Amino acid sequence: MTRELYKTLVAGSSALAMTLALGASAQAFDTVQWDWEAVVTSTVTTSVTADTVLTPTGINQAENLQETFGDVSAAGSVNAVAIVLDPAAPVPYPTTELALVEVGGQAMGNSASITSDVSIQYDSLQNLSGLDPTTAALITADSSALSIANAAVDSAATAVGNNLTVDLAYTDPQNAIAIGNNVQNALVAATATSSVDTVAIASFEGLGTLENPVVSSKATAVGNNFSAKVMAAPPVVVTP
């Protein structure tokens, strides 16, 4: 409140007291106007520095250079598998007696795996292309199962251009550090196909209670794949 406004209010109060004493109605003031303008300029600068001090007990240093030129293919197939059941066994048969047919195809251009229980430092370069470096390499994986009787089927096809896996499972927290550089170049056409056809199962009970499906068919095609994991190793259990 400004000083002038304060004076006006005081004067108005005096006038109001006088009019009340005289028995007449009057108003000291009808309106009050208050204008307030503020311009605020502020700058906030935040700086955070975190220092991690470790003393590794060992070090795993790796240099990985992989180059592949050309096509890679893999195929797996199973046809006409029939499980003959024991006619003397009681029917229906338990699911524990259900056989499993596994088939797969895996095609990969470049693949590397680095594992350690101490600190890791690595530098990795993977290049993949056709015989002519300006053309694409064909990475093809096929898996098929046909005409399977009285057996579950697990079919999987995987086509990968470049793959690198880094796994650090430390026992001492001082070793919980992995530093690396990973470069993956893939000029590739990756194709994965998994097919399952004509699977018949009869005279088995409880098929709906199986933990795994009766038919599993998976296909995965990847150009570049990289995985890094740093975690404490599981405790060692000493058996007597």
Query: Domain ranges in the chain?
Result: 1-35, 59-232
Give the pLDDT score at 206. 87
Q: 169 - beta bridge partners? A: 231
Hey, which bits of 117-214 come out as E strands?
119-129, 137-149, 151-170, 178-186, 188-200
Q: What is the pLDDT of residues 37-76, one digit of tens each?
A: 778 788 888 898 888 889 999 999 999 999 999 999 999 9
Which structure tokens are listed for 106? Answer: 């895996």
Q: What is the pLDDT of residues 27-41, one digit of tens each?
A: 555 666 777 777 878
Kindly give the pairing relationship between strand 151-170 and strand 72-82: unpaired
CA dihedral 232, 237, 238, 240 (to 10 degrees): 180
Give the pLDDT score at 38. 78
CA dihedral 84, 89, 91, 93 (to 10 degrees): -60
Q: What is the pLDDT of residues 160-206, one digit of tens each?
A: 999 999 999 999 999 999 999 999 999 999 999 999 999 999 999 88
Give the pLDDT score at 30. 67
Q: What is the pLDDT of residues 119-170, one digit of tens each?
A: 999 999 999 999 999 999 999 999 999 999 999 999 999 999 999 999 999 9
CA dihedral 112, 117, 121, 122 (to 10 degrees): 0
Confidence of residue 19 (pLDDT cuts 50, 70, 90): very low
